[in-house]
Amino acid sequence: MGVAQLMPAWVIVTSVAVGYLLVSLGVGLLSGRNASKGPEGYIAGDRTLGFLILYFVMGASIFSAFAFLGGPGWAYSRGAAAFYILAYGTVGLIPWYAFGPRVAALGRQFGYVTQAELFAHRFQSRWLSAILAIISLAAFVPYLTLQMRGAGYVFNVVTEGRVPEWLGAAIAYGVVVIYVLASGVMGVGWTNTFQGIFMMVLAWGLGLYLPYKLYGGVGAMFTELAAAVPEMLAPPGLDAAGAAWTWGGYGSAIAVSAIGFSLWPHYFMKIYTARSDDVLKKTVIFYPTFQIFLIPILFIGFAGILRYPGVTPNEAILPTILMSMDLPAVVVGLFCAGALAASMSTGDALLHAAGSIMVRDFCCVLYPRKLTDGEQTRLIRILLILISLLAYYFAIVSEVSLVALLLMSYGFLVQIAPVMLSTLYWARSTPQGILAGLVAGCGTVIIFQWFPALQWQQIQPGIFGLLVNLVVLITVSLATRPMDEGHVAQFVVD
Amino acid sequence: MRLSPRFFSSKLSATQRRVYRAVTGWFVFVAAAMLWPLYTPFARVRPLVLGMPFSLFWLAFLLVASFGVAFAMYRWESRS
Protein backbone atom coordinates (compact mmCIF):
# COMPACT_ATOMS: atom_id res chain seq x y z
CA MET A 1 0.00 0.00 0.00
CA GLY A 2 1.56 3.31 -1.01
CA VAL A 3 1.30 6.63 0.72
CA ALA A 4 -1.12 7.83 -1.94
CA GLN A 5 -3.80 5.45 -0.79
CA LEU A 6 -3.45 6.53 2.82
CA MET A 7 -4.11 10.21 2.14
CA PRO A 8 -7.47 11.53 1.00
CA ALA A 9 -7.39 12.82 -2.56
CA TRP A 10 -8.02 16.42 -1.64
CA VAL A 11 -4.95 16.53 0.57
CA ILE A 12 -2.74 15.38 -2.30
CA VAL A 13 -4.39 17.85 -4.67
CA THR A 14 -3.85 20.69 -2.20
CA SER A 15 -0.24 19.65 -1.61
CA VAL A 16 0.55 19.74 -5.30
CA ALA A 17 -1.11 23.14 -5.64
CA VAL A 18 0.74 24.48 -2.60
CA GLY A 19 3.98 23.09 -4.02
CA TYR A 20 3.36 25.04 -7.22
CA LEU A 21 2.57 28.19 -5.19
CA LEU A 22 5.80 27.88 -3.22
CA VAL A 23 7.85 27.52 -6.40
CA SER A 24 6.09 30.57 -7.87
CA LEU A 25 6.79 32.53 -4.73
CA GLY A 26 10.44 31.51 -4.71
CA VAL A 27 10.93 32.37 -8.37
CA GLY A 28 9.11 35.66 -7.88
CA LEU A 29 11.16 36.71 -4.86
CA LEU A 30 14.53 35.76 -6.34
CA SER A 31 13.98 37.41 -9.71
CA GLY A 32 13.99 41.00 -8.51
CA ARG A 33 17.42 40.95 -6.88
CA ASN A 34 19.38 42.59 -9.67
CA ALA A 35 16.94 45.20 -10.92
CA SER A 36 17.51 48.82 -9.99
CA LYS A 37 15.34 50.16 -7.21
CA GLY A 38 13.58 53.02 -8.97
CA PRO A 39 10.73 53.02 -11.51
CA GLU A 40 12.99 52.02 -14.43
CA GLY A 41 13.87 48.83 -12.67
CA TYR A 42 10.54 48.19 -10.99
CA ILE A 43 8.34 48.97 -14.02
CA ALA A 44 10.57 48.40 -17.06
CA GLY A 45 13.16 45.93 -15.78
CA ASP A 46 15.92 48.39 -16.71
CA ARG A 47 15.04 47.59 -20.33
CA THR A 48 17.06 44.37 -20.19
CA LEU A 49 14.53 41.60 -20.85
CA GLY A 50 15.59 38.93 -23.31
CA PHE A 51 13.51 36.95 -25.79
CA LEU A 52 12.59 33.92 -23.72
CA ILE A 53 11.28 35.88 -20.77
CA LEU A 54 9.43 38.42 -22.91
CA TYR A 55 7.87 35.57 -24.92
CA PHE A 56 6.49 34.06 -21.73
CA VAL A 57 5.55 37.41 -20.21
CA MET A 58 3.35 38.06 -23.21
CA GLY A 59 2.06 34.53 -23.65
CA ALA A 60 1.24 33.87 -20.01
CA SER A 61 -0.19 37.34 -19.34
CA ILE A 62 -2.48 37.05 -22.30
CA PHE A 63 -3.80 33.64 -21.35
CA SER A 64 -5.75 34.02 -18.16
CA ALA A 65 -8.07 31.79 -16.17
CA PHE A 66 -10.25 32.15 -19.25
CA ALA A 67 -7.96 29.67 -21.00
CA PHE A 68 -9.05 26.80 -18.75
CA LEU A 69 -12.50 27.98 -17.70
CA GLY A 70 -14.08 30.34 -20.21
CA GLY A 71 -12.36 28.98 -23.30
CA PRO A 72 -13.58 25.39 -22.93
CA GLY A 73 -16.84 26.88 -21.59
CA TRP A 74 -17.44 28.80 -24.81
CA ALA A 75 -16.65 25.77 -26.97
CA TYR A 76 -18.95 23.63 -24.81
CA SER A 77 -22.01 25.90 -24.87
CA ARG A 78 -21.47 28.10 -27.90
CA GLY A 79 -19.60 25.83 -30.27
CA ALA A 80 -17.79 27.52 -33.14
CA ALA A 81 -18.38 30.95 -31.55
CA ALA A 82 -15.30 30.06 -29.49
CA PHE A 83 -13.16 30.16 -32.64
CA TYR A 84 -13.00 33.93 -32.26
CA ILE A 85 -10.49 33.41 -29.45
CA LEU A 86 -8.15 31.66 -31.87
CA ALA A 87 -8.73 34.16 -34.65
CA TYR A 88 -7.84 37.49 -33.09
CA GLY A 89 -4.47 36.39 -31.72
CA THR A 90 -3.31 35.57 -35.23
CA VAL A 91 -3.18 39.23 -36.24
CA GLY A 92 -3.42 41.04 -32.91
CA LEU A 93 0.24 41.30 -31.95
CA ILE A 94 1.56 42.01 -35.47
CA PRO A 95 1.32 45.83 -35.10
CA TRP A 96 4.11 45.59 -32.52
CA TYR A 97 6.47 44.52 -35.29
CA ALA A 98 5.68 47.80 -36.98
CA PHE A 99 5.53 50.27 -34.09
CA GLY A 100 7.27 48.38 -31.29
CA PRO A 101 10.87 49.31 -32.13
CA ARG A 102 9.92 52.96 -32.55
CA VAL A 103 8.08 53.02 -29.21
CA ALA A 104 11.00 51.30 -27.49
CA ALA A 105 13.46 53.83 -28.93
CA LEU A 106 11.33 56.75 -27.75
CA GLY A 107 11.08 55.05 -24.38
CA ARG A 108 14.85 54.88 -24.10
CA GLN A 109 15.24 58.45 -25.26
CA PHE A 110 12.62 60.05 -23.02
CA GLY A 111 12.50 57.59 -20.13
CA TYR A 112 8.96 56.30 -20.65
CA VAL A 113 7.82 53.28 -18.68
CA THR A 114 4.08 53.44 -19.38
CA GLN A 115 1.92 53.78 -22.49
CA ALA A 116 0.29 57.06 -21.50
CA GLU A 117 3.66 58.77 -21.02
CA LEU A 118 4.32 58.40 -24.74
CA PHE A 119 0.93 59.82 -25.74
CA ALA A 120 0.94 62.59 -23.14
CA HIS A 121 4.40 63.74 -24.24
CA ARG A 122 3.55 63.59 -27.93
CA PHE A 123 0.37 65.61 -27.45
CA GLN A 124 1.66 67.69 -24.54
CA SER A 125 -1.46 66.95 -22.53
CA ARG A 126 -1.63 65.97 -18.85
CA TRP A 127 -5.38 65.44 -19.23
CA LEU A 128 -4.77 62.71 -21.78
CA SER A 129 -2.51 60.95 -19.30
CA ALA A 130 -5.04 61.18 -16.48
CA ILE A 131 -7.97 60.01 -18.63
CA LEU A 132 -6.01 57.00 -19.92
CA ALA A 133 -4.98 56.12 -16.37
CA ILE A 134 -8.61 56.08 -15.25
CA ILE A 135 -9.67 54.00 -18.27
CA SER A 136 -6.86 51.54 -17.51
CA LEU A 137 -7.84 51.22 -13.87
CA ALA A 138 -11.50 50.77 -14.80
CA ALA A 139 -10.49 48.00 -17.21
CA PHE A 140 -7.96 46.29 -14.95
CA VAL A 141 -9.99 45.95 -11.77
CA PRO A 142 -12.81 43.79 -13.20
CA TYR A 143 -10.27 41.78 -15.16
CA LEU A 144 -8.22 41.16 -12.00
CA THR A 145 -11.35 40.38 -10.02
CA LEU A 146 -12.34 37.71 -12.52
CA GLN A 147 -8.87 36.14 -12.22
CA MET A 148 -9.19 36.02 -8.45
CA ARG A 149 -12.63 34.45 -8.70
CA GLY A 150 -11.26 31.90 -11.17
CA ALA A 151 -8.45 30.94 -8.80
CA GLY A 152 -10.80 30.58 -5.84
CA TYR A 153 -13.30 28.61 -7.90
CA VAL A 154 -10.80 26.08 -9.24
CA PHE A 155 -9.18 25.50 -5.86
CA ASN A 156 -12.62 24.91 -4.39
CA VAL A 157 -13.83 22.47 -7.06
CA VAL A 158 -10.72 20.28 -7.15
CA THR A 159 -10.75 19.84 -3.37
CA GLU A 160 -14.45 18.94 -3.51
CA GLY A 161 -15.38 22.09 -1.62
CA ARG A 162 -12.92 21.73 1.24
CA VAL A 163 -10.89 24.82 0.40
CA PRO A 164 -13.41 27.68 0.45
CA GLU A 165 -13.25 30.10 -2.46
CA TRP A 166 -12.23 33.06 -0.31
CA LEU A 167 -9.26 31.10 0.99
CA GLY A 168 -8.11 29.77 -2.39
CA ALA A 169 -8.22 33.23 -3.93
CA ALA A 170 -6.49 34.74 -0.89
CA ILE A 171 -3.62 32.23 -0.90
CA ALA A 172 -3.01 32.45 -4.64
CA TYR A 173 -3.16 36.22 -4.71
CA GLY A 174 -1.34 36.61 -1.44
CA VAL A 175 1.58 34.97 -3.25
CA VAL A 176 1.11 37.29 -6.24
CA VAL A 177 1.02 40.43 -4.12
CA ILE A 178 4.19 39.39 -2.26
CA TYR A 179 6.29 38.76 -5.35
CA VAL A 180 4.98 41.78 -7.25
CA LEU A 181 5.73 44.01 -4.25
CA ALA A 182 9.19 42.54 -3.93
CA SER A 183 10.29 42.23 -7.53
CA GLY A 184 8.10 44.33 -9.80
CA VAL A 185 8.19 43.46 -13.49
CA MET A 186 11.09 41.03 -13.06
CA GLY A 187 8.90 39.06 -10.66
CA VAL A 188 6.08 39.12 -13.20
CA GLY A 189 8.46 38.03 -15.95
CA TRP A 190 10.13 35.06 -14.31
CA THR A 191 7.02 33.70 -12.63
CA ASN A 192 5.23 34.01 -15.99
CA THR A 193 7.96 31.93 -17.58
CA PHE A 194 7.46 29.16 -15.03
CA GLN A 195 3.67 29.53 -15.13
CA GLY A 196 3.57 29.71 -18.94
CA ILE A 197 5.42 26.43 -19.37
CA PHE A 198 3.05 24.82 -16.87
CA MET A 199 0.00 26.11 -18.73
CA MET A 200 1.21 24.98 -22.13
CA VAL A 201 2.00 21.47 -20.96
CA LEU A 202 -1.34 21.20 -19.20
CA ALA A 203 -3.32 22.53 -22.16
CA TRP A 204 -1.71 20.22 -24.70
CA GLY A 205 -1.85 17.29 -22.29
CA LEU A 206 -5.52 17.63 -21.41
CA GLY A 207 -6.54 18.81 -24.85
CA LEU A 208 -5.23 15.66 -26.49
CA TYR A 209 -5.92 13.20 -23.65
CA LEU A 210 -9.59 14.03 -23.04
CA PRO A 211 -10.81 13.56 -26.64
CA TYR A 212 -8.84 10.32 -26.76
CA LYS A 213 -10.33 9.07 -23.49
CA LEU A 214 -13.90 10.13 -24.22
CA TYR A 215 -14.15 9.43 -27.97
CA GLY A 216 -11.05 7.56 -29.10
CA GLY A 217 -9.32 10.56 -30.65
CA VAL A 218 -9.75 14.10 -31.95
CA GLY A 219 -10.95 12.95 -35.37
CA ALA A 220 -13.41 10.50 -33.83
CA MET A 221 -14.71 13.25 -31.56
CA PHE A 222 -15.36 15.71 -34.36
CA THR A 223 -16.88 12.98 -36.56
CA GLU A 224 -19.41 12.28 -33.80
CA LEU A 225 -20.06 15.99 -33.27
CA ALA A 226 -20.45 16.61 -37.00
CA ALA A 227 -23.13 13.95 -37.11
CA ALA A 228 -24.95 14.86 -33.88
CA VAL A 229 -24.62 18.64 -33.55
CA PRO A 230 -23.18 20.13 -36.76
CA GLU A 231 -24.48 23.59 -35.86
CA MET A 232 -21.90 23.66 -33.05
CA LEU A 233 -19.06 23.37 -35.54
CA ALA A 234 -20.11 26.00 -38.09
CA PRO A 235 -19.18 29.60 -37.34
CA PRO A 236 -20.53 31.93 -36.09
CA GLY A 237 -21.90 29.36 -33.64
CA LEU A 238 -24.30 30.24 -30.84
CA ASP A 239 -24.77 33.35 -28.72
CA ALA A 240 -24.95 33.40 -24.92
CA ALA A 241 -28.64 32.51 -24.96
CA GLY A 242 -28.13 29.52 -27.24
CA ALA A 243 -29.61 31.12 -30.34
CA ALA A 244 -27.66 31.50 -33.57
CA TRP A 245 -24.99 34.19 -33.30
CA THR A 246 -24.61 36.75 -36.07
CA TRP A 247 -21.56 37.31 -38.23
CA GLY A 248 -21.67 40.89 -36.98
CA GLY A 249 -21.34 39.76 -33.37
CA TYR A 250 -18.66 37.18 -34.13
CA GLY A 251 -16.67 39.38 -36.51
CA SER A 252 -16.79 42.47 -34.32
CA ALA A 253 -15.69 40.41 -31.30
CA ILE A 254 -12.62 39.45 -33.34
CA ALA A 255 -12.11 43.01 -34.58
CA VAL A 256 -12.42 44.63 -31.15
CA SER A 257 -10.16 42.03 -29.53
CA ALA A 258 -7.59 42.22 -32.34
CA ILE A 259 -7.44 46.02 -32.37
CA GLY A 260 -7.17 46.22 -28.60
CA PHE A 261 -4.63 43.40 -28.35
CA SER A 262 -1.54 45.47 -29.11
CA LEU A 263 -2.87 48.37 -27.05
CA TRP A 264 -3.80 46.93 -23.64
CA PRO A 265 -1.70 49.17 -21.39
CA HIS A 266 -0.26 46.27 -19.40
CA TYR A 267 1.00 44.57 -22.58
CA PHE A 268 2.06 47.80 -24.29
CA MET A 269 4.35 48.80 -21.44
CA LYS A 270 6.27 45.56 -21.92
CA ILE A 271 7.62 47.05 -25.15
CA TYR A 272 9.83 49.23 -22.97
CA THR A 273 11.30 46.23 -21.17
CA ALA A 274 12.87 44.61 -24.24
CA ARG A 275 16.65 44.50 -24.39
CA SER A 276 16.69 45.12 -28.14
CA ASP A 277 14.52 45.49 -31.23
CA ASP A 278 15.51 41.98 -32.17
CA VAL A 279 14.02 40.63 -28.92
CA LEU A 280 10.82 42.52 -29.59
CA LYS A 281 10.52 41.26 -33.15
CA LYS A 282 11.23 37.66 -32.22
CA THR A 283 8.57 37.85 -29.50
CA VAL A 284 6.01 38.95 -32.09
CA ILE A 285 7.10 36.32 -34.63
CA PHE A 286 7.02 33.45 -32.14
CA TYR A 287 3.89 34.45 -30.28
CA PRO A 288 1.70 32.17 -32.50
CA THR A 289 3.59 29.19 -31.11
CA PHE A 290 2.01 30.08 -27.76
CA GLN A 291 -1.36 31.00 -29.24
CA ILE A 292 -1.74 27.64 -30.95
CA PHE A 293 -2.36 25.99 -27.57
CA LEU A 294 -5.87 27.41 -27.81
CA ILE A 295 -6.68 24.58 -30.21
CA PRO A 296 -6.41 21.81 -27.59
CA ILE A 297 -8.19 24.16 -25.15
CA LEU A 298 -11.13 24.25 -27.56
CA PHE A 299 -10.96 20.45 -27.94
CA ILE A 300 -11.60 20.18 -24.19
CA GLY A 301 -14.81 22.15 -24.44
CA PHE A 302 -15.99 20.22 -27.50
CA ALA A 303 -15.26 16.96 -25.72
CA GLY A 304 -17.83 17.85 -23.07
CA ILE A 305 -20.76 18.36 -25.43
CA LEU A 306 -21.83 14.76 -26.08
CA ARG A 307 -20.57 13.24 -22.84
CA TYR A 308 -21.50 15.77 -20.14
CA PRO A 309 -24.66 17.54 -21.22
CA GLY A 310 -26.34 20.16 -19.08
CA VAL A 311 -23.35 21.50 -17.15
CA THR A 312 -23.81 25.08 -15.94
CA PRO A 313 -22.23 27.53 -15.75
CA ASN A 314 -20.35 26.60 -18.90
CA GLU A 315 -17.00 27.49 -17.29
CA ALA A 316 -17.42 24.50 -15.03
CA ILE A 317 -17.02 22.03 -17.89
CA LEU A 318 -13.31 21.27 -17.54
CA PRO A 319 -13.29 20.86 -13.75
CA THR A 320 -16.51 18.81 -14.03
CA ILE A 321 -14.98 16.43 -16.57
CA LEU A 322 -11.79 16.03 -14.57
CA MET A 323 -13.46 15.42 -11.24
CA SER A 324 -15.76 12.81 -12.75
CA MET A 325 -12.94 10.75 -14.23
CA ASP A 326 -10.94 8.47 -12.01
CA LEU A 327 -7.71 10.39 -12.39
CA PRO A 328 -4.83 10.13 -9.93
CA ALA A 329 -4.99 12.93 -7.36
CA VAL A 330 -1.56 14.15 -8.45
CA VAL A 331 -2.92 14.81 -11.95
CA VAL A 332 -5.88 16.72 -10.55
CA GLY A 333 -3.42 18.67 -8.42
CA LEU A 334 -1.39 19.52 -11.51
CA PHE A 335 -4.53 20.74 -13.23
CA CYS A 336 -5.28 22.95 -10.24
CA ALA A 337 -1.75 24.29 -10.34
CA GLY A 338 -2.04 24.94 -14.08
CA ALA A 339 -5.31 26.81 -13.71
CA LEU A 340 -3.85 28.85 -10.85
CA ALA A 341 -0.83 29.54 -13.05
CA ALA A 342 -3.09 30.80 -15.82
CA SER A 343 -4.93 33.09 -13.42
CA MET A 344 -1.88 34.35 -11.55
CA SER A 345 0.23 35.01 -14.62
CA THR A 346 -2.43 37.41 -15.86
CA GLY A 347 -3.27 38.82 -12.44
CA ASP A 348 0.32 39.70 -11.61
CA ALA A 349 0.74 41.69 -14.82
CA LEU A 350 -2.56 43.50 -14.26
CA LEU A 351 -1.77 44.35 -10.67
CA HIS A 352 1.76 45.51 -11.42
CA ALA A 353 0.52 47.64 -14.32
CA ALA A 354 -2.41 49.10 -12.37
CA GLY A 355 -0.17 50.39 -9.61
CA SER A 356 2.52 51.66 -11.97
CA ILE A 357 0.04 53.44 -14.24
CA MET A 358 -1.92 55.07 -11.43
CA VAL A 359 1.30 56.51 -10.00
CA ARG A 360 3.11 57.50 -13.22
CA ASP A 361 0.13 58.60 -15.29
CA PHE A 362 -2.26 59.94 -12.67
CA CYS A 363 -0.52 60.84 -9.42
CA CYS A 364 2.77 62.13 -10.86
CA VAL A 365 0.92 64.11 -13.51
CA LEU A 366 -1.46 65.85 -11.12
CA TYR A 367 0.90 66.33 -8.18
CA PRO A 368 2.38 69.86 -8.02
CA ARG A 369 6.02 68.79 -7.81
CA LYS A 370 8.02 65.95 -9.33
CA LEU A 371 8.05 62.81 -7.17
CA THR A 372 11.44 61.22 -6.53
CA ASP A 373 12.18 57.65 -7.69
CA GLY A 374 11.91 56.42 -4.12
CA GLU A 375 8.58 58.17 -3.56
CA GLN A 376 7.21 56.71 -6.79
CA THR A 377 8.09 53.10 -6.00
CA ARG A 378 6.82 53.47 -2.46
CA LEU A 379 3.53 54.90 -3.72
CA ILE A 380 3.24 52.11 -6.32
CA ARG A 381 3.60 49.52 -3.59
CA ILE A 382 0.93 51.16 -1.45
CA LEU A 383 -1.45 51.37 -4.41
CA LEU A 384 -0.75 47.73 -5.31
CA ILE A 385 -1.96 46.62 -1.92
CA LEU A 386 -5.04 48.84 -2.09
CA ILE A 387 -5.95 47.74 -5.63
CA SER A 388 -5.54 44.06 -4.76
CA LEU A 389 -7.79 44.51 -1.73
CA LEU A 390 -10.38 46.29 -3.87
CA ALA A 391 -10.32 43.52 -6.48
CA TYR A 392 -10.49 40.87 -3.74
CA TYR A 393 -13.50 42.61 -2.24
CA PHE A 394 -15.29 42.51 -5.60
CA ALA A 395 -14.18 38.92 -6.16
CA ILE A 396 -15.32 37.40 -2.91
CA VAL A 397 -17.54 39.76 -0.96
CA SER A 398 -19.53 41.54 -3.62
CA GLU A 399 -22.02 39.84 -5.92
CA VAL A 400 -21.69 42.47 -8.63
CA SER A 401 -21.49 41.04 -12.13
CA LEU A 402 -18.35 42.40 -13.66
CA VAL A 403 -18.66 40.84 -17.07
CA ALA A 404 -20.61 43.85 -18.34
CA LEU A 405 -17.93 46.20 -17.05
CA LEU A 406 -15.23 44.11 -18.63
CA LEU A 407 -17.02 44.08 -21.99
CA MET A 408 -17.34 47.85 -21.84
CA SER A 409 -13.65 48.20 -21.09
CA TYR A 410 -12.85 46.38 -24.35
CA GLY A 411 -14.86 49.05 -26.10
CA PHE A 412 -12.90 51.82 -24.36
CA LEU A 413 -9.63 50.13 -25.13
CA VAL A 414 -10.28 50.25 -28.85
CA GLN A 415 -10.54 54.07 -28.56
CA ILE A 416 -6.81 54.13 -27.88
CA ALA A 417 -6.12 52.97 -31.46
CA PRO A 418 -6.59 56.42 -33.08
CA VAL A 419 -4.34 57.90 -30.39
CA MET A 420 -1.63 55.34 -31.14
CA LEU A 421 -1.90 55.80 -34.90
CA SER A 422 -1.80 59.59 -34.65
CA THR A 423 1.17 59.53 -32.28
CA LEU A 424 3.48 57.94 -34.81
CA TYR A 425 1.83 58.33 -38.21
CA TRP A 426 -0.23 61.52 -38.36
CA ALA A 427 1.62 64.76 -37.75
CA ARG A 428 -1.41 66.98 -38.25
CA SER A 429 -3.28 65.53 -35.25
CA THR A 430 -3.71 67.97 -32.38
CA PRO A 431 -4.29 67.58 -28.63
CA GLN A 432 -7.82 68.93 -28.99
CA GLY A 433 -8.60 66.45 -31.75
CA ILE A 434 -7.19 63.53 -29.77
CA LEU A 435 -9.07 64.41 -26.60
CA ALA A 436 -12.33 65.17 -28.41
CA GLY A 437 -12.10 61.91 -30.34
CA LEU A 438 -11.33 59.91 -27.20
CA VAL A 439 -14.21 61.41 -25.23
CA ALA A 440 -16.65 61.08 -28.14
CA GLY A 441 -15.57 57.49 -28.73
CA CYS A 442 -15.91 56.46 -25.10
CA GLY A 443 -19.23 58.27 -24.85
CA THR A 444 -20.51 56.35 -27.87
CA VAL A 445 -19.40 53.07 -26.29
CA ILE A 446 -21.34 53.89 -23.12
CA ILE A 447 -24.47 54.78 -25.07
CA PHE A 448 -24.35 51.65 -27.23
CA GLN A 449 -23.67 49.51 -24.16
CA TRP A 450 -26.64 51.00 -22.27
CA PHE A 451 -28.98 50.62 -25.25
CA PRO A 452 -28.15 47.26 -26.80
CA ALA A 453 -30.93 47.66 -29.35
CA LEU A 454 -28.64 50.17 -31.09
CA GLN A 455 -26.07 47.44 -31.80
CA TRP A 456 -26.94 46.80 -35.42
CA GLN A 457 -26.16 43.18 -36.34
CA GLN A 458 -24.96 42.70 -32.71
CA ILE A 459 -21.82 44.63 -33.58
CA GLN A 460 -19.70 45.52 -30.53
CA PRO A 461 -20.10 49.07 -29.14
CA GLY A 462 -16.36 49.60 -29.48
CA ILE A 463 -16.64 49.59 -33.28
CA PHE A 464 -19.26 52.33 -33.29
CA GLY A 465 -17.14 54.27 -30.82
CA LEU A 466 -14.13 53.89 -33.07
CA LEU A 467 -15.97 55.30 -36.08
CA VAL A 468 -17.19 58.31 -34.11
CA ASN A 469 -13.72 58.72 -32.60
CA LEU A 470 -12.01 58.85 -36.00
CA VAL A 471 -14.48 61.33 -37.48
CA VAL A 472 -14.20 63.66 -34.48
CA LEU A 473 -10.41 63.28 -34.28
CA ILE A 474 -9.93 64.22 -37.93
CA THR A 475 -12.37 67.14 -38.04
CA VAL A 476 -11.29 68.70 -34.74
CA SER A 477 -7.57 68.27 -35.55
CA LEU A 478 -7.94 69.95 -38.92
CA ALA A 479 -9.98 72.74 -37.33
CA THR A 480 -7.37 73.48 -34.66
CA ARG A 481 -3.86 74.88 -34.95
CA PRO A 482 -1.15 72.35 -35.92
CA MET A 483 1.40 71.42 -33.27
CA ASP A 484 4.98 72.62 -33.36
CA GLU A 485 6.74 70.80 -36.22
CA GLY A 486 10.00 70.38 -34.38
CA HIS A 487 8.30 68.70 -31.45
CA VAL A 488 6.18 66.42 -33.64
CA ALA A 489 9.16 65.45 -35.80
CA GLN A 490 10.69 63.64 -32.81
CA PHE A 491 7.83 61.15 -32.91
CA VAL A 492 6.28 60.71 -36.34
CA VAL A 493 7.58 58.59 -39.15
CA ASP A 494 9.15 60.77 -41.79
CA MET B 1 2.78 70.55 -42.33
CA ARG B 2 1.88 67.35 -44.18
CA LEU B 3 -1.88 66.77 -43.99
CA SER B 4 -2.05 63.04 -44.68
CA PRO B 5 -0.66 60.30 -42.44
CA ARG B 6 2.58 58.56 -43.33
CA PHE B 7 2.98 54.89 -42.42
CA PHE B 8 6.23 53.97 -44.16
CA SER B 9 9.39 55.96 -43.71
CA SER B 10 10.58 57.86 -46.79
CA LYS B 11 14.04 56.50 -46.02
CA LEU B 12 13.05 52.95 -46.99
CA SER B 13 14.37 51.56 -50.25
CA ALA B 14 11.94 50.52 -52.98
CA THR B 15 12.55 46.84 -52.23
CA GLN B 16 11.91 47.32 -48.51
CA ARG B 17 8.73 49.19 -49.25
CA ARG B 18 7.57 46.37 -51.52
CA VAL B 19 8.27 43.71 -48.94
CA TYR B 20 6.50 45.58 -46.13
CA ARG B 21 3.53 46.31 -48.37
CA ALA B 22 3.30 42.64 -49.32
CA VAL B 23 3.46 41.46 -45.71
CA THR B 24 0.88 44.05 -44.68
CA GLY B 25 -1.27 42.82 -47.56
CA TRP B 26 -0.93 39.25 -46.31
CA PHE B 27 -2.14 40.17 -42.83
CA VAL B 28 -5.03 42.22 -44.19
CA PHE B 29 -5.99 39.14 -46.21
CA VAL B 30 -5.73 36.94 -43.10
CA ALA B 31 -7.94 39.30 -41.10
CA ALA B 32 -10.52 39.33 -43.88
CA ALA B 33 -10.32 35.56 -44.26
CA MET B 34 -11.44 35.10 -40.65
CA LEU B 35 -14.50 37.36 -41.07
CA TRP B 36 -17.63 37.55 -43.14
CA PRO B 37 -17.85 37.34 -46.12
CA LEU B 38 -14.45 35.90 -47.02
CA TYR B 39 -14.51 33.26 -44.25
CA THR B 40 -18.03 32.05 -45.15
CA PRO B 41 -17.12 29.45 -47.79
CA PHE B 42 -14.44 28.05 -45.44
CA ALA B 43 -16.68 28.15 -42.37
CA ARG B 44 -17.98 24.65 -43.07
CA VAL B 45 -17.93 21.50 -41.00
CA ARG B 46 -16.64 19.10 -43.65
CA PRO B 47 -14.20 17.94 -44.81
CA LEU B 48 -12.47 17.11 -41.54
CA VAL B 49 -8.76 17.87 -41.87
CA LEU B 50 -6.28 16.64 -39.25
CA GLY B 51 -9.36 15.52 -37.33
CA MET B 52 -10.74 19.06 -37.09
CA PRO B 53 -13.80 20.58 -38.76
CA PHE B 54 -12.70 22.58 -41.81
CA SER B 55 -13.79 25.87 -40.17
CA LEU B 56 -11.29 25.26 -37.36
CA PHE B 57 -8.58 23.85 -39.64
CA TRP B 58 -8.79 27.00 -41.79
CA LEU B 59 -8.02 29.18 -38.76
CA ALA B 60 -5.17 26.90 -37.70
CA PHE B 61 -3.81 27.05 -41.23
CA LEU B 62 -3.95 30.87 -41.26
CA LEU B 63 -2.10 30.94 -37.93
CA VAL B 64 0.66 28.61 -39.10
CA ALA B 65 0.98 30.27 -42.51
CA SER B 66 1.17 33.73 -40.88
CA PHE B 67 3.93 32.45 -38.63
CA GLY B 68 5.76 31.36 -41.77
CA VAL B 69 5.32 34.71 -43.51
CA ALA B 70 6.40 36.70 -40.48
CA PHE B 71 9.39 34.44 -39.89
CA ALA B 72 10.45 34.79 -43.52
CA MET B 73 10.24 38.58 -43.28
CA TYR B 74 12.30 38.55 -40.09
CA ARG B 75 15.00 36.43 -41.74
CA TRP B 76 15.02 38.64 -44.82
CA GLU B 77 15.47 41.71 -42.58
CA SER B 78 18.36 40.14 -40.67
CA ARG B 79 20.14 39.33 -43.90
CA SER B 80 19.79 42.73 -45.59
pLDDT per residue as tens digits for the range A40-59: 999 999 999 999 999 999 99
Average pLDDT of chain A to the nearest whole number: 94
Q: What is the mean pLDDT of residues A257-281?
A: 96
Q: What is the mean pLDDT of residues A235-253?
A: 94
Domain ranges of chain A: 3-399, 415-494
What's the pTM? 0.94
pLDDT, tens digit, 9 for 90 and up, residues A1-27:
455 567 888 999 999 999 999 999 999
Q: Which CATH superfamily is domain A3-399 in?
A: Sodium/glucose cotransporter (1.20.1730.10)
| Cα angle A189, A190, A191; round to 5 | 95
pLDDT, tens digit, 9 for 90 and up, residues A163-176:
999 999 999 999 99
Nearest CA to A119 among A131, A401, A241, A108?
A131
Domain ranges of chain B: 15-79
pLDDT, tens digit, 9 for 90 and up, residues A352-395:
999 999 999 999 998 989 999 999 999 999 999 999 999 999 99
pLDDT, tens digit, 9 for 90 and up, residues A408-429:
889 999 999 999 999 999 999 9
Say if residues A300 and A318 touch (Cβ distance below 8 Å): yes
Interface membership of B8 toward A (CB under 8 Å): yes
pLDDT at A414: 95
Q: Which residues of B touch A90 (CB under 8 A)?
A: 30, 34, 59, 62-63, 66
Interface contact flag, B66 A288, Cβ < 8 Å: yes
Which pLDDT band holds residue A264 (cuts at 50, 70, 90)?
Answer: very high
pLDDT at B2: 87
pLDDT at A5: 65
Rounded Cα gap, residues A129 and A391, in angstroms = 23
Count Cβ–Cβ pairs < 8 Å, chain A vs chain B: 121
Q: What is the mean pLDDT of residues A278-299?
A: 95
pLDDT, tens digit, 9 for 90 and up, residues A45-103:
999 999 999 999 999 988 888 889 999 999 999 999 999 999 999 999 999 999 999 99
What are the b/e assignments for A175-199, b being 16+ CB within 10 Å?
A: bbbebbbbbbbbbbbbbbbbbbebb
Helix residue spans in A31-94 (DSSP H)? 39-44, 51-62, 70-78, 83-92
How many angstroms separate the CA of residue B21 from the nearest CA in chain A?
Answer: 12
